[in-house]
Structure formats: structure tokens, C-alpha cells
Amino acid sequence: MHIDNSNESIDYSKVRYLLGAAELHQLPDDEGIEVAFAGRSNAGKSSALNKITGQKNLARTSKTPGRTQLINVFNIDDSNRLIDLPGYGFAKVSRAVKNNWEKTLSEYLQTRRCLKALVILMDIRHPCKDMDVAMIRWSLAAGLSVMVLLSKSDKVKQGERAKTTRAVKNTLKPFVGPDSELLISPFSSLKGEGVSAVTSFLNNTYKKGPLQT
Ligand code: GDP
């Protein structure tokens, strides 16, 4: 079935879990559009996915460190998918697990042609750790659209939210090129701040349609 992206409004409550891939060959065909969610473990990624889709248990991934980490795939409709990348920066993960994760992640980011955008969650109280900045730099350099969600914004006062948003924007500004896009918003799964901003970002990305090559 062909989906006319120009007119359809996307209903994120229809998002359904499809599969968890330990290796890239287990992913669905490299067609349509994917937007991937990434972030350090505990940044609030599962809560954000649940909030955006209005489903309490959608991203109920295991929090056990050292367990096989999967790339979780969710179908929105026939051509659009959300991807939940394994959380990074878990200190207790063994070197071997970490190496394997980094290899799979970088392969996914570098080879997946239907990947159009990344949503990166950073705890508003601890933003821009090395791995966050590396992910954002790489994604922008690859011409992907990036939205940074400064998560758990309810944990800080309004003034600090605005201040951190400005500081993060300044830190990341040098990496935004002429063909890339970077949006930054405070986000709270608890209070709903930033939900409409990320939903519009997703809508815009999916509506652009698959890359014609
Ligand atoms: P993940 O490891 O990135 O998937 O993070 P989770 O979504 O599991 O969240 C980690 C912890 O942060 C949990 O205890 C959540 O309840 C908490 N958390 C997540 N989002 C928010 C938020 O918006 N506000 C607050 N106050 N806590 C949050």
C-alpha cells in the first residue's frame, strides 16, 4: 500500500513494537523512513517514547546492565518506523558488550539509508557528555536532522531550563552545517513539556518522504 505522506496526519498511538535486532541483518528492509531515539542509559528515553505514543509500556526494555542490547523497532505505519537504540554510557557494562554495542550502533548509523533523523535525550541536569556530543556531531555531519531533548525538565526551574537550552545550543552550534538541522527543546515525560515540539519534528521528518536516490 502506498502512503501519501503529504496528507496523512500521523497517529503515534498506533505505534506497535515490531522486533528487537541484535544484528543489522535482522532489521526490516532498508526502505521508508526511520527516526532513531538515542541517549545515555537512564536519560529518560523509554519514558519519552511511551509519552509520545501515549502507551504506558511501549518501550519496556530491560534495564539489566550487560544484557544483550537490542535495536528495538516500532512500526508507525507501512513506511514509517521509530527506532529505540540501546542506551549508552552504562558504566557497569563490560568492555566486550560495549565494543559490540559501539560497532552495531556505528554500523546502523553509517549504513542505514532510511534513517533520516535522530532524537537525542540528555538529562537537563547533565547535558553534553562526550558520547552525546560525539553522536550529535556525527549525525549532523552525516546530514541527518537532529532534535535534542533536554529531559526531566521538571527537575529544574524555568530559568535554568532556558539557560541550559541556550548553553547547549552554543556548545553544539559549531557542528551544524548548511545541510543539517538541529533543534533543542526541554522535555518532560512527567509534565508533557516538549511533547508537541518533538511530535512536529517527527511529523516533518516523516512527511518529507523517503529519500529519492
Ligand atoms: P532510559 O534508560 O533512558 O529508557 O530511561 P527511563 O525512561 O527508564 O527513565 C529513567 C528514570 O528517570 C526513571 O526512574 C524515570 O521515572 C525517570 N524519568 C524519566 N523521564 C522523566 C521525567 O520527565 N521527569 C522525571 N522527574 N523523571 C523522569
Domain boundaries, the chain: 16-207
Residue 193 Cα to ligand 1 middle (Å) = 14
CA of 211 to the centre of ligand 1 (A): 34
- According to the model, what pLDDT value does residue 68 have? 59
Report yes or no: 164 and 150 within 8 Å, Cβ to Cβ.
Answer: yes
Spatial neighbors of 130 by CB under 8 A, at least 6 apart, are: none
Selection from 59, 62, 87 nearest residue 73 by Cα: 59
**Of 80 and 6, the one with more pLDDT:** 80
Residue 143 in contact with residue 179, Cβ under 8 Å? Answer: yes
Inform me whether the pLDDT recorded for 8 exceeds 70.
Answer: no
Nearest-CA residue for ligand 1 atom 19 is: 44
Q: Alpha carbon of 46 to those of 21, 42, 78, 87, 96: distances in Å?
A: 17, 9, 23, 10, 24
C-alpha torsion sign, points 55, 30, 147, 137? positive
187 CA closest ligand 1 atom index: 23
Task: Give residue ranges with CB within 6 A of ligand 1.
Answer: 39, 41-47, 87, 151-152, 154-155, 188-190
Q: What is the mean pLDDT of the chain?
A: 88
pLDDT at 170 over 70: yes
3-class state of residue 85 by DSSP: coil
Ligand 1, residues 41, 42, 47: which to mutate, most atoms within 8 A of Cβ?
47
**Residue nearest ligand 1's atom 24 by CA:** 152
CA distances from residue 77 to 16, 39, 87, 98 in whole angstroms, order as listed: 9, 24, 25, 32
Tell me: the pLDDT tens digits for 150-162?
A: 999 999 999 999 9
User: Phi and psi (nearest 5°) for 117?
Assistant: -155, 155
183 CB-near residues (< 8 Å, 6+ apart) = 145, 146, 147, 148, 197, 201
Rounded to the nearest angstrom, the distance between the alpha carbon of 2 and the centre of ligand 1 is 37
Higher pLDDT, 212 or 32: 32
- For residue 91, the model assigns a pLDDT of 61
The class that CATH gives domain 16-207 is alpha beta
The tens digit of pLDDT for each residue in 70-121 reads: 899 999 999 999 999 988 876 666 777 778 777 888 899 999 999 999 999 9
Q: What per-residue confidence (pLDDT) applies to 89? A: 74
Distance 69 CA to ligand 1 centre (A): 18
Cell (9 digits) for 136? 550529535
Per-residue model confidence (pLDDT) at position 1: 46
